[in-house]
Amino acid sequence: MTFQAEWLQGTLLATSLAFTLTGSALADSAVPPNTKSAEFKVTDFLLDNGMEVVVIPDHRAPIVTHMVWYKIGSADEPPGKSGIAHFFEHLMFKATTHHAAGEFDRAVSDIGGSNNAFTSYDYTAFHETVAPSALEQMMGFEADRMRNLILTDDVIKTERDVILEERRSRIDNNPQAVLDEEVDATLWQNQPYRIPVIGWMQEMEQLNRIDATAFYDKYYRPNNAVLIVAGDVEPAMVKALAEKTYGKVARGPNLPPRIRPVEPEQNTKRTVTLSDARVSVPSFSTQWVVPSYHTAKPGEAEALDLLAEILGGGNRSRLYQALVVQQGIASSAGAYFQGTMLDDTNFTVYGAPRGDAKLADVEAAVDAEVARIASGGVTADELEKAKDRYVRSMVFARDKQDSMAEIYGSTLATGGNVQDVQQWPDRIRKVTADEIKAVAARYLVLACSTTGYLLPQQQAGN
């Protein structure tokens, strides 16, 4: 897709196994035998100040991906301060006591590198991709901005305007995004995942220097950070450089465990409807609260991953085959599960009609497939093929250095460890058909779900 026009990329979904959703990676065991494959060995260690370090060697190209993950995301924000985690991520690109604003960006572009950052519910990550010779310099910059930012009211005000424009472009200009935001706020009755990562507009408008400083001092500490280095490096060198740079940053106070409000029992079926003149084809999605890799009992999250794959992971899935191919009533239908989360997460099914079919018929057909898998389970053949797809997707993931870094980073930032990542393929292999049927029956209960409808202006809701 490298040379695809950007607008087209935007319409492309991840392949049947979206890696970002599975907290998975390749262990040696998943490498097919009889292939001449370089050894793939991940090293992890702690610095004296509590910073975790993971090194993933990949010597194919003279490139290194350097990422700092902070175990702080939007779900950790204080009440009334939604958007501060993401806002702070932006502020991390401003001046420090050692470097003028823009100096870090210039240093990266001067060597032809790329850099960026992102914020999610459970983590905030900063990353640079550079030649290995620049690794120490990158570490120096990251270690510096971990503690030495200079935040002024002017800087805050201008950058706050930027995030407000970001919200307008991502959410407010887009009816689907507006609906999704309010579906989340309805599905989650207590857990902070109900609040959008980017924040509610009226709270974003009020974020200020005092909020930012308090947030910085509490969370931007080496003992709350994970360093991931993937690429053309050796662990010993990474360790020496990390000690020289990050190792000099003082450990912060111990942070309390990340215990957030949890979801009460869900007892109702809720619907959220948005009609908009820009919509000409209706669509729906139904979501349930389910455990994540971090909150699930052993094997449950793996079973949910395979359930999502078999039910609606790609064009061989039940939903696609039944609704799009056989019945011919849908233009799209599928399911997904976001396993890599600190708290309970969501399982989603979705669909949109085609031709003369009605949205209600598509929804009924999706519900019927969900009911069928919950009562009848999956076949041995479906299960084997889904497992094969997962295992091969991990081989493909190894081909992209930054995907490997993201798999480890997101897992470690959501309560997992290196072993969890490495043993994941074996755990997937162990899942039985009965376990998949059990999680479907236990969690995918329509009476306790939230459905969002995106409808054309003139169409009444269901």
Q: Rule CB under 8 A: which of 82-111 touch another protein? A: 86, 89-90, 93, 101-102, 105-106, 109-111
Total number of residues binding another protein (CB under 8 A)? Answer: 119
Enumerate residues 251-270 that contact another protein by CB under 8 A.
none
To the nearest 10°, report the CA torsion of 152, 162, 80, 451: -160
- Of 66, 71, 81, 160, which lies in the binding site for another protein, with binding defined by CB under 8 A? 160
29 near another protein, judged by CB under 8 A: no
Strand order in the sheet with 345-353: 270-276, 450-456, 283-290, 345-353, 330-337
80 near another protein, judged by CB under 8 A: no
Cβ contact 72:255 at 8 Å: no
What is d(CA 42, CA 372) in angstroms, rounded to the nearest whole number? 41
Cβ contact 213:137 at 8 Å: no
- H/E stretch holding 375: helix 359-376
280 near another protein, judged by CB under 8 A: yes
Q: How far is the CB of 188 from another protein (least distance, A)?
A: 12
451 near another protein, judged by CB under 8 A: no
Q: How far is the CB of 280 from another protein (least distance, A)?
A: 5
3 near another protein, judged by CB under 8 A: yes
**∠ CA(72), CA(75), CA(77), 5° rounding?**
75
Residue 252 or 294 having the CB closest to another protein: 294
Q: How far is the CB of 165 from another protein (least distance, A)?
A: 4
Q: Which stretch binds another protein (CB under 8 A): 45-53, 206-214, 311-319, 436-444?
A: 311-319
**Which x/- pattern, by CB under 8 A, does the window 374-403 give for another protein?**
-----------x--xx--x--xx-xxxxx-
44 near another protein, judged by CB under 8 A: no
428 near another protein, judged by CB under 8 A: no
Q: Out of 52, 77, 89, 300, which one is annotated catalytic?
A: 89
Q: How far is the CB of 6 from another protein (least distance, A)?
A: 5
* CA 251 centroid distance within chain: 27
Cβ contact 329:361 at 8 Å: yes
Beta bridge partners of 456: 276
Radius of gyration over every alpha carbon of the chain, rounded to an integer in angstroms: 23
Is residue 300 part of the annotated active site? The answer reads: no
180 near another protein, judged by CB under 8 A: yes
Cβ contact 294:412 at 8 Å: no
Enumerate residues 321-350 that contact another protein by CB under 8 A.
324-325, 328, 331-332, 334, 336, 338, 346, 348, 350
15 near another protein, judged by CB under 8 A: yes
Collect all residues with Cβ–Cβ distance below 8 Å to 314 and sequence separation of at least 6.
Answer: 15, 16, 17, 320, 334, 389
Residues designated catalytic: 89
